[in-house]
């Protein structure tokens, strides 16, 4: 029991570490920081945002990059893109209080906490990549513990193995939950000042809603057909909008 708790504490400590940038991208990241600190007008901040966006387009997945990208867009006055960037930072820095404050400052609504996240209270303490790391390490330790029991047939080893099995199951359930909400589900933010959601994937279809959707509205994507996406809003309404009128992540 003591060994299990000690290892869990160690793993949680590891999981608190921030994800580092690839060495060859550090200079580009620093360039974005310099551009942001020297910026004096919106176009200057957009230049910094483009530097961070280039990192994202190169496949860099980092909470710091998305967070700084959001800051640059926010200072440039582009709240919808800032909101999208901040939302993309959440899987990598879910417990960052500044991130949550910034989301609200650019118009993001505070989201209700599902029952699952209340039961798995650590869900928003640890980043998605680090949860996967914890689950992997726990599965390896569990396997070794079970093998040790069959080799030595010591009852205390069996008890430790049961604890690790339970911890591993919880870890993988937690990872699966994050995978569903961050990877499987596509989210988006409307960037056009106004866009009419329609009943089909063309301008010839009738409007699906009584009012146009305005910039900054968040949604999830249900389906895509060519240059159109079917979006779901928080109030359970849905409609088709052009891909060009929103940013999807």
pLDDT in the model for residue 79: 98
| pLDDT value, residue 236 | 83
Q: How far is 242 from 225, CA to CA, in rounded Å?
A: 10
| pLDDT score, position 32 | 97
3-state SS of 161-212 is: HHHHHHHHHHHHHHHHHHHHHHHHCCEEEECCCEECCECCCCCCCCECCCCC
Q: Which CATH architecture has domain 23-105?
A: Alpha Horseshoe (1.25)
CB neighbour list of residue 184: distance below 8 Å, 6 or more residues apart: none
What was the pLDDT predicted at 19? 57
Regions of the chain with pLDDT less than 50: 1-18
| pTM score | 0.86
Q: Give the pLDDT confidence score for residue 10 in this predicted structure.
A: 42
Cβ partners under 8 Å of residue 14, min gap 6: 130, 133, 134
Instruction: Tell how strand 218-225 and strand 238-242 pair up.
Output: unpaired
Instruction: Locate CATH 1.25.40.10 in the chain.
Output: 23-105
Where are the domain boundaries for CATH 2.30.30.40 in the chain? Answer: 187-248
Instruction: Supply the pLDDT for residue 24.
Output: 86
Q: For the chain, give the mean pLDDT.
A: 91
Nearest to 225 by CA among 189, 207, 199: 199
- Which class would CATH give 187-248? mainly beta
**% of the chain at pLDDT higher than 70:** 92
């Amino acid at each position: 029991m003591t060994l299990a708790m000690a290892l869990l504490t160690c793993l949680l400590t590891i999981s608190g570490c921030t994800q580092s940038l690839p060495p060859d991208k550090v200079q580009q990241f620093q360039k974005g920081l310099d551009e942001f600190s020297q910026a004096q007008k919106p176009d200057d901040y957009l230049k910094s945002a483009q530097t961070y966006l280039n990192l994202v387009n190169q496949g860099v997945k980092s909470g710091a990059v998305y967070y700084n990208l959001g800051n640059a867009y926010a200072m440039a006055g582009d709240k919808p893109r800032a909101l999208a960037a901040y939302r993309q930072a959440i899987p990598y820095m879910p417990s960052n209080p500044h991130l949550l404050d910034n989301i609200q400052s650019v118009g993001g609504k505070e989201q209700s906490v599902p029952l699952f996240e209340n039961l798995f209270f650590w869900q928003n303490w640890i980043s998605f990549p680090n949860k996967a790391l914890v689950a992997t390490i726990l599965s390896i330790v569990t396997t070794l513990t079970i093998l040790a029991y069959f080799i030595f047939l010591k009852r205390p080893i069996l008890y430790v193995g049961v604890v690790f099995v339970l911890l591993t199951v919880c870890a993988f359930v937690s990872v699966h939950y994050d995978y569903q909400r961050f990877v499987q589900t596509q989210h988006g933010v409307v960037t056009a000042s106004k866009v009419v959601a329609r009943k089909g994937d063309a301008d010839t279809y009738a409007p699906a809603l009584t009012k146009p959707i305005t910039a900054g509205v968040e949604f999830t994507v249900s389906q895509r057909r060519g240059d159109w996406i079917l979006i779901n809003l928080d109030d359970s309404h849905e409609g088709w909008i052009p891909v060009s009128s929103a940013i999807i992540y």
